[in-house]
Amino acid sequence: MMDIAWSEKDKAFQQEVRQFFAEALTDDIRRAAKGMTSVYADHEASMHWQEKLVAKGWAAPHWPVEYGGCDWSIAQHYIFARERAIAGAPPLSPMGIQMCAPAIIAFGSEEQKNFFLPRMLSGEHFWCQGYSEPGAGSDLASLKMSAVSDGDHYICNGSKIWTTHADEANWCFCLVRTAKEDRPQKGITFLLIDMSTPGIVVKPIVSLTGEHIQNQIFFDDVRVPKANVIGEEGKGWTVAKYLLEFERGGAAYAPLMHERLNDIRELAKTIPGDNSPRLIEDPIFAAKLASVEIETATLEMYERQAMSAISAGGSPGMSASVMKILGTELQQHVTELAIDAAAYAGLPFQPQAGAPGGKVLYPYNPDEFVGPTEAALAPLRYFNERAGSIYAGSNEIQRNILAKAALGL
């Protein structure tokens, strides 16, 4: 029988984390986290929170200790994630610390680690991801952005699209094609590009809600030092797959979903139901809520197992695809439940009620919206989470990966 109770050491750590959050979180940072409508918090609030975590030594707990990580047990990693969600602290931008850093640690030279990791941790370098192209999304191996050798540099030409925070970032980790081989996965190189390099143009992609989070990047004869290659030239696909494991399964979904479900339960106590004075007393809604809570608890146990492998120095492996499928589809179920709980109060589309992870390019008063805050946020999160099963490799692609790797099909 497995004992999942926290030890006395874990309980002491839990109290330390709670005290730190209580003292370090400002109202502005909490408000930015509470109003999140996607996986990204407000940029300014997120960077302010990163400063506080760096000062505490907790900004990158999953990194090796010699580079600024924490020597935590799997239980401590999960306690931190759970308490962060309970306290209402925002996540940090995952592009650098959570995604690019593991690739540099695994495949980079000592010189690259010593240069990039401290600047990534401090926030001096803020990163974006140059993977998708107009003709290469889930079929990423079909990418065409070229990097032609020219002495100690590459000359890069092409375009990347759907690049989150490219307008904020000063560095980009990119997949480029340095050779044409018999298989599309060959000849791809993992390259780090300074966004201030001449020849780079960033153009905004503004959503229907007026939010500017994503961008298209154009590279026109951009000179990039070959010293910025991570791993070997032509073998970037191996680095990219490793990084994607951390993008898909490097963080826990369940802690935040527990808190979202608590918010939904509270909202349902104030909204009239079809068959009862309050929606929370409606047996149909109660059954839906219970079902999602059970699914979340199940995912939580799986995430603990996967995080155990990561904390031991490994990568998420195939569990990354499992967590990506289960986590994103369960997030969608949670947003559907929130729409039910919001009822008529969730009908208006009110982006001013949230705190998106980027600029909103039209005027509005954030204090003016109809209904409870959670009800106003419900449709915003519902629409955003429709993308969850597509980004980082669609869930159909993840199922193909599992069919091949786990089942041998």
Catalytic site positions:
247
CA distances in angstroms from 245 to 130, 330, 337, listed in the order given? 16, 19, 29
- What are 310's two structure tokens? 């990561």
Residue 391 CB burial class (10 angstroms; 0-12, 13-18, ≥19): middle
The amino acid that residue 111 corresponds to is: E
Strands (E) across 161-210 are located at 171-177, 188-194, 200-206
Q: 164, 157, 148: which is closest to 199 by C-alpha?
A: 157
Cβ atoms < 10 Å from Cβ of 180:
10
Any idea how long the chain is? 409
Per-residue b/e over 321-333, b at no fewer than 16 CB within 10 Å?
Answer: bbbbbbbbebbbb
Cβ atoms < 10 Å from Cβ of 7:
11
Strands 211-225 and 200-206: antiparallel
Angle subtended at Cα 93 by Cα 306 and Cα 266, rounded to the nearest 5 degrees:
75
